[in-house]
A and B are shown apart, each in its own frame.
Chain A
Amino acid sequence: MAGVLIRMKLTVVKNSMTGGRAAWMLVGALLGLLFAAATIWLSLVELPNREVLGDLLAGVFGMWTLGWLVGPLWGGSAVLRADHFMLLPMPRRRLALGLLGAAFVGITTAVTALGFAGLITYGARQGLAPGLLAVPVAALQLVFVVLLSRVAYALFGVVAASRAGAAVTGVLFAAMLVLTQSGWMIVVAVMYSDILETGFSHPTTVALRAVPSSWGVVAVDAAGRGDWPLAIAAPAGLAALCVLLLLVWSVELGTPRRARATIRGSAGRAPVSGGPLGGTTGAVVRKELRTWWRDPLRTTTAVVPIVWALGTALLPLTFDARLLLPWAGPALALFAITSACNLYSQDGTALWQTLTIGAERADVRGRQWAYLIVFAPPAVALSVAFTWWSGAAWAWPWVAAAVPALLGGGAGLIAHSSVFGLVPGPDAHKRPSNPLERADTTGRSNVLFWVGLVPPAPALAVVYLGTRWDERWLSWAGLPVGVLTGVVVAWVLGGLAIRKLTEDGPDLLHAMRTGRPTVSRAAGGAGVARKGGTVEGLSWGLGSILLIPQGIVPLVFILSDIDVRSWFLAMYVRPLLGVPIAVASMLAGIALYARAVMTRVDDRTGRAGAPAPAGERELESV
């Protein structure tokens, strides 16, 4: 049973190891290995205060568990889904055990097992008995996280269809982004504090060790002290939890008893027409606003920028820096561009309606207005509230100049990107509930994040000059300049999108119907595209790491005399050498970004012209 399921899973994984997916798996495995190595290293570190080490290790195991909770939500559905086997005549508990067996086969489990070996080294330092005890306990801990992840995903699937679930998804997604991009701020904060000498406060320690993911550490510590009742009780508790989770999971595997959360429309009245939103564009605006309100995928799209902006701006408060607070609003407006860059793909083949009516102009303009109506209020509100909270009076003209340019530029960029850079995803009517089933726009979002910084540049330059020459009126002239750039960019890029949609609409529709562009790939192109995808994915990942945490951040630290080493390579040498290392790292990051862009361009042009290999997917129900 489990054997068959494991072989099945391996086959599915093998068949889906293509392009960016394989690249991300590789990057994920490497990062996981790094984290596992760090965990083992931590368990061997000599600290002045022994207690702190246990606490830190418990915290790290907590992070592993959190990763297992969030991972499946981020990475989409499991490879083998229980509903695939619903018609097989077998008891649910057996199916649960079989699927559990299959769940253990995977890179993630292997990497986690390695990380949990840190518990064994930690125990071995305290003596033979704790070391031996740690072996089964670490295994139990692994079973626990795998089961917890399965159960959480099963339960989450129930709520994900609702708008609240979609919002939660957005929050988790944004939190992961903030942690991966700016998590180093927390590390810096811990290193600056004196926690490592004094230890955590007693309530923190108790709370930290009460979490089940810490019970392994508790057991080993107890064994080290010779407190055997506790050393047996903690793993026993963990085992009991595992049994409980297995029971919950096997129940959840059954036919869903709860109805799916359905989002309802408004009752029997026609939508009003006329007013400020009259006309054809107005009809699209009102249609779009209803979609933003009702589609879980749009809810996630809207929530991610807000949480990302909040997280990024609030994180420096951990070391009491209010520096980023005024930039929460602009950050929201900037990240909204990367989040909403694939609007047409989200609606999928519904484009045929627009094409048969010939309403391309109204459609693009309507979407732009709807984007502004959705994102402008929170961006403005956040800007005003947080700038006021920060008490940084100098920030007002900067924020006032940036926000309108970012919003207007965004309205233009999302329209342009949604049409010119359309990434096909699951069709709209085939994803009624799961906001996680969407097209992969990682590469495009990366580009737009930087391109999105261009529209506010003129306005910010004006403010800069105003500050430099100490001319108050000039600083505030940034606001009208920002508004003007925003309007122009939105108008021009929207116009380009309209033209493209009018001319090539059927090709875009075809791309969304079949999941690939109309221009056929070069013969044998599948292999090329796969390789290109891997290169592109790796380039984005490594480029980001080299450019920001290994390039810009250490450079800023060196230039402003902050002495934090953490994992910033350039901080481990003399400042004189650190600067060139940081600069080289930035250049390498930019080069990798360029490489990724070029791979994508090559991929596009390479596909044009020559005929595609036979047997590719065609129009459905031809």
Chain B
Amino acid sequence: MEPATIRHAGAGRADAGGPPAALRLSGLHKTFGTNTAVDHVDLVVPRGSFFGLVGPNGAGKTTSLSMAVGLLRPDEGTAQVFGVDVWSDPVEAKALLGVLPDGLSMPERLTGRELLTYLGQLRGIEAGVLAGRVQDLLDVMELGAAERTLVVDYSTGMRKKIGLATALLHGPRLLVLDEPFEAVDPVSAAALKAILNGFVAGGGSVVLSSHVMPLVEQLCDTVAVMAGGRVVAAGPLAEVRGDGTLEQTFVRLVGGDAHARRGLSWLVS
């Protein structure tokens, strides 16, 4: 693996004196047994940015994001949302956050509408406002047709959409989305992109992880590349990718395996 070539977004940068960053990870560290999943990661997500976190499988993206939003206890380091520490002041931090984890269960035996309504009530959203928001979200996510289907019977794409709806419900200021577009069909994806772009245009901040480079290039203005539990590059999209595409930069940073590209010689018809 090549050494980190670009390191614009470090813990030392940004928000000195200014308003705090949307998300700031400082020295986050997590080991599972002898395997270091996340190795002292520093990352700053500026306010109002659309931030893409990319990396190969096993790079530590999910682990980092889980620690950032308070779903996984870090061994070391801190995570701050708009200057509020996620681990020492969870209640205030969580009100600012909307989260979409990847592959977790939800209260499975509820319909989409019931799920959103109960979560809204738990968040203390006023009844009149809540009903309107739930309807809007179901319409935008096109989940209205499956009104009587329980979440457990949703398809993978529908699960993503209802998950995103729960993340948006309370009007958070920062969205942290783990693989939000995986298994989502192109039509729904276009709708989601429009929502996210509108959210950022309105002053919100988004962090999303993905391994689909063109998607990140299309949506994000700031990116970070993770590999082997470290951030190997971070900064504005144009700087990170330089003259090539993000994909080329990514392969160069992460280092492709020559074996993997050789192919299977016997697989010919």
Identify the A interface with B (CB < 8 A): 262-268, 270-271, 273-274, 279-280, 282-284, 286-287, 290-291, 293-295, 298, 347-350, 352-353, 355-359, 362, 427-429, 432, 506-507, 509-510, 513, 518, 520, 611-616, 618-622
Contacts and interface: CB of A to CB of B under 8 A. Distances in A.
Contact of B104 (A267, A287, A349, A362): A349
Contacts of B72: 506, 509-510, 619
B201 interface: no
B226 to A, nearest CB: 10
A358 B94 contact: yes
B110 A347 contact: no
Given A618-B35, A620-B103, A509 B71 contact: yes
A616 B33 contact: yes
A91 B222 CA distance: 56
A287 B134 contact: no
Interface string B45-60: 0000000000001111
- Scoring B70, B107, B109, B131 by chain A CB atoms within 10 A of each residue's CB, the highest score goes to B109
Interface in B82-111: 90-91, 94-95, 97, 99, 101-111
Contact of A350 (B105, B131, B147): B105
Interface in B132-159: 134, 144, 147-153, 159
Closest 7 CB pairs of A and B: A612-B33, A265-B111, A283-B121, A349-B104, A428-B105, A294-B109, A350-B105
16 contacts: A262-B150, A262-B153, A265-B147, A265-B148, A268-B113, A273-B127, A280-B121, A283-B118, A350-B104, A429-B159, A520-B32, A612-B33, A613-B33, A618-B63, A621-B179, A622-B62
Contact of B102 (A274, A359, A518, A621): A621
Contacts of B32: 520, 612, 616, 618
B108 A429 contact: yes
Given A357-B122, A611-B34, 12 more contacts: A264-B150, A265-B110, A268-B113, A270-B113, A270-B131, A287-B107, A357-B123, A358-B94, A432-B108, A619-B37, A619-B72, A621-B178
Contact of A264 (B57, B60, B113, B149): B149
Contacts of A509: 71-72
A618 B109 CA distance: 27
A70 B57 CA distance: 43
Given A273-B121, A295-B109, A353-B106, A432 B35 contact: no
B69 interface: yes
B247 interface: no
B89 to A, nearest CB: 11
B103 A291 contact: no
A15 to B, nearest CB: 21
A619 B66 contact: yes
- Scoring B63, B150, B159 by chain A CB atoms within 10 A of each residue's CB, the highest score goes to B150
Contact of B117 (A271, A293, A616): A271
B29 to A, nearest CB: 14
Contacts of A294: 109, 150
Contacts of B70: 355-356, 506
Nearest to A291: B109
B152 A432 contact: yes
A18 B73 CA distance: 29
Contact of B62 (A347, A353, A615, A621): A621
- Scoring B73, B95, B178 by chain A CB atoms within 10 A of each residue's CB, the highest score goes to B73
A488 B155 CA distance: 44
A432 B108 CA distance: 9
Contacts of A352: 71, 99, 101, 104
B67 to A, nearest CB: 9
Contacts of B124: 280
A592 B97 CA distance: 50
B166 interface: yes
Nearest to A513: B104
Contacts of B61: 622
B179 A290 contact: no
B119 interface: yes
A506 B71 contact: yes
Interface in B17-35: 31-35
A268 B147 contact: yes
A348 B105 CA distance: 6
Contact of A274 (B103, B127, B150): B127
A358 B90 contact: yes
A293 B99 CA distance: 28
Contacts of B110: 265, 287, 290-291
Given A290-B114, A432-B152, A612-B33, A350 B106 contact: yes
Given A267-B147, A271-B118, A622-B63, A432 B105 contact: no
Contacts of A293: 109
Contacts of A432: 108, 152-153
A265 B152 contact: no
Contacts of A356: 69-71, 94, 97, 99
A621 B65 CA distance: 12
A349 B152 contact: no
A291 B107 contact: yes
A268 B70 CA distance: 34
Nearest to B61: A622
Contacts of A510: 72-73
B149 A265 contact: yes
Contacts of B178: 621
B127 A429 contact: no
Interface in B161-220: 166, 178-179
Nearest to A620: B103
A326 to B, nearest CB: 35
Given A613-B34, A620-B103, A283 B122 contact: yes
A428 B118 contact: no
A51 to B, nearest CB: 54
Contacts of B109: 263, 290-291, 293-295, 298
Contacts of A298: 109
A347 B33 contact: no
Nearest to A279: B121
A612 B37 CA distance: 13
Given A290-B110, A353-B166, A618 B71 contact: no
B102 to A, nearest CB: 5
Contacts of A513: 104
Contact of A265 (B97, B114, B159, B179): B114
Contacts of B152: 428-429, 432
Given A266-B111, A268-B147, A518-B73, A359 B122 contact: yes
Contacts of A263: 109, 150
A613 B34 CA distance: 7
B151 to A, nearest CB: 8
Given A506-B70, A611-B33, A619-B37, A429 B122 contact: no
- Scoring A268, A282, A509, A619 by chain B CB atoms within 10 A of each residue's CB, the highest score goes to A619
B121 A618 contact: no
B91 A358 contact: yes
B117 A270 contact: yes
Contact of B34 (A262, A348, A612, A619): A612
Nearest to B104: A349
- Scoring A263, A265, A507, A518 by chain B CB atoms within 10 A of each residue's CB, the highest score goes to A265
- Scoring B57, B97, B110 by chain A CB atoms within 10 A of each residue's CB, the highest score goes to B110
A614 B70 CA distance: 25
- Scoring A359, A362, A520 by chain B CB atoms within 10 A of each residue's CB, the highest score goes to A359
B150 A621 contact: no
A347 B60 CA distance: 26
- Scoring B122, B149, B179 by chain A CB atoms within 10 A of each residue's CB, the highest score goes to B122
- Scoring A263, A347, A353, A518 by chain B CB atoms within 10 A of each residue's CB, the highest score goes to A353
Contacts of B102: 620-621
A611 B99 CA distance: 30
Contacts of A266: 111, 114, 148
